[in-house]
Structure 1
Amino acid sequence: MAADSTGYFVFSLDTELATGFFDLDKERAALFSPDGSRERWSIRSLLDLMDEFDIRATWAITGHIFYRECEKCPVCPVKEWKGKYRSYDEAYDTNHPLWYGADVVEEIQRRRRHEIGFHGYTHRVFTPETMSTQEAEFEITEWMRVASRVGIEGKSVIFPRDKMGHLDLFSRHGFTSYRSEANLSIWIRNRFFGSYLKTLDHILGITTPPLYSLKGLPRTPDGMIDITESMHLKGFNWGVERILDSVNLHRLRLRRAVRGIHKAAEQKKIIHLWAHPWEFQTEKDMDKMRYIFEAVSEEQTSGRLQSITMSALAEKAEQPL
């Protein structure tokens, strides 16, 4: 079968627990459960749905949560948080379940269908302005070190907070793909009414998320393949979402995503959806994902679409079309 004979569904998950908010004490306290139990429920529930519908995903995991407890590493970036953020007291010399997630990694690996990719070692932003080459090298090699302890060789990169940088280093270390942000329309970027148009579009499904052709995927000079996002599944006004949830119209706002899935299958294109696992906090949220995965499953059964990880898609892009 030729690599471009079907469409492709890519689903990537920025998996961080509390490390994604290490420098945002107030937001972290408001968003996460005290003991990490809700976040683990979210991850297990997503994995169960993926098993049910034969979905493969790229779980981009922050290196720090590979640990089971603080190991007081010789070079410890967490020490730099002391006196700046409460996260130091929560993470250093503890086994706090919001900062240590070896059990999460084990659960994802146990399902035997998913990819585990890079999402920073500490979730620092990777732009050249915020991180030196030496610091980036440390983040990459430390992530590779802790990942290798459980047999993981990273191939895909999802940058913390979607801020890209130091791609040449990733290529040098054997990574083959990364996720970049989609170019938003001028209307959605408008500071006055863009958010309202975006909300309306999600509900009515007026437009389709950006789709990409396999042969047209951009590459860096070193050959890394850019698997650009199509849509952040939870990039929606949460107030409006709660209202829709309360009147059992929770699936309504995903019409745009489902329309994109069917169009990707029809046109043999790529659709790349993404989210953070912690964003799925209720049974209604899981039913939204069931709605998404039902659409993918329907197209997979018809033979028009494949669910695929980022690294596997990068391999497809290297094949003759």
Structure 2
Amino acid sequence: MVISLDAELGWGFHDLEPLPTARVEAGRRGWETMLELCEEYEVPATWAVVGHLMLESCDGVHADHPAPEGWFDRERGAWRDREDLRYCPELVRAILESDVDHELASHSFSHALFGRPETDREFAAAELERSVELAGEWGQTVDSFIYPRNDVGHRDVLAEYGVGAYRGRSPTPDGIRGLLDSTVRARSMLVEPRVDEHGLVNVPASLFLFGFEGPARTVAESVWNDPMVVLARRGIDDAADGDGVFHMWLHPNNLTLERDDERMRTILSYLARRRAETDLTVETMVDAARRVAVLEGVDGTATGVDGRATANPHRRVAELGDGD
């Protein structure tokens, strides 16, 4: 089992119009709730944090950052006085000080969309460089990366800056299509992490836990059960009984209502029960990547400052040719 969270507060929406106000304002609440639930059920997770959130303050100008024109306009303008959306060092600290051994991963510095044409290599490199620098100031390494909006690109830049793993796209679509695909076809949601041509370990997503929302969710819950809970339980069972990884993911800002909290409590409670009954394990992305590196025949796995695997063994996999 792998669970990853895209922790972004306002940065997940700063380039959007109109803003999804409920989600923008729910970021801190959802972050705290997920930390509490992970501690209650002793579930480690990969928290991919937008680097800017690690700052105590900034001028909003970022003059040396090669972002496209207008990229920081909302921070400089409408959100100039919304520090609660732009920074949260106390929430980052809460991840690191948790009794659960979470992984602090990167979600870029300013939620840059790596797969877009306007994100050139210089912009991507600056996003990674600043994220790595900030992590170092917190005594951490950046071993895993989660692409904002799952917009995969510039994987060579990840490798260059020492990242060892990333979350690849899910083979199953989100929303109603994904629900039907998994339910009607009884399709397995297990994935198999693989070393790619850049020496990075791709830990694909299996299920976005908030891909079935709005009126359809309300109707489904009124006549059946929460469909995402049903799918999550099925994936957990598959992981407990089969061979592969079930990788669930969400944003803390998805938890906007009490029923969202209950969804996550139900899923994590079921996970804890199945873990107690079987040999099911819960890994962070870097743990899964390290295991893949070992299985691929990489010797001498290096560890970072916190004892986790660094990108070096994954690079060596690329040099050896996918384990040959």
TM-score between both structures, scaled by the size of structure 2: 0.81
Residues of 2 paired with 1:149 and 1:71: CA distance?
19
How far apart are residue 32 of structure 1 and its match?
A: 2.1
Matches within 5 A, 1:150-299: 150-184=138-172, 196-199=176-179, 207-213=186-192, 217-243=193-219, 247=222, 251-299=226-274
Inter-CA distance 179–100: structure 2 relative to 1 (3 Å threshold): same
Contact 1:81/1:88 (<8 A) preserved? no
Residues of 2 paired with 1:135 and 1:57: CA distance?
28
Matched residues, percent identical?
26
SS of aligned partner of 2:47: strand
Contact 2:22/2:256 (<8 A) preserved? no
TM-score between both structures, scaled by the size of structure 1: 0.82
Inter-CA distance 29–42: structure 2 relative to 1 (3 Å threshold): closer
How far apart are residue 295 of structure 1 and its match?
A: 2.1
Contact 1:208/1:257 (<8 A) preserved? no
Unaligned 5+ segments in structure 2 are 297-324
SS of aligned partner of 2:281: strand
Inter-CA distance 225–199: structure 2 relative to 1 (3 Å threshold): closer
Q: Which residue in 2 is equivalent to 1:22?
A: 14
Higher relative contact order (CA closer than 8 Å, sequence separation 6+): 1
How far apart are residue 105 of structure 1 and its match?
A: 0.6
Taking only aligned residues, the RMSD between alpha carbons, in angstroms, comes to: 2.7
Inter-CA distance 42–67: structure 2 relative to 1 (3 Å threshold): same
Inter-CA distance 265–156: structure 2 relative to 1 (3 Å threshold): same
Inter-CA distance 229–54: structure 2 relative to 1 (3 Å threshold): same
Question: What does the per-residue CA deviation read over 1:241-298, in whole Å, with 9 as the maximum and x for residues that have no partner?
Answer: 24456x5966444211111101111013200000111001222211111221122112
Unaligned 5+ segments in structure 1 are 1-8, 190-194
Paired amino acid for 2:113: V
SS of aligned partner of 2:235: helix
Residues of 2 paired with 1:28 and 1:99: CA distance?
16
Inter-CA distance 313–157: structure 2 relative to 1 (3 Å threshold): same
How far apart are residue 44 of structure 1 and its match?
A: 1.2
Q: Which residue in 2 is equivalent to 1:101?
A: 88
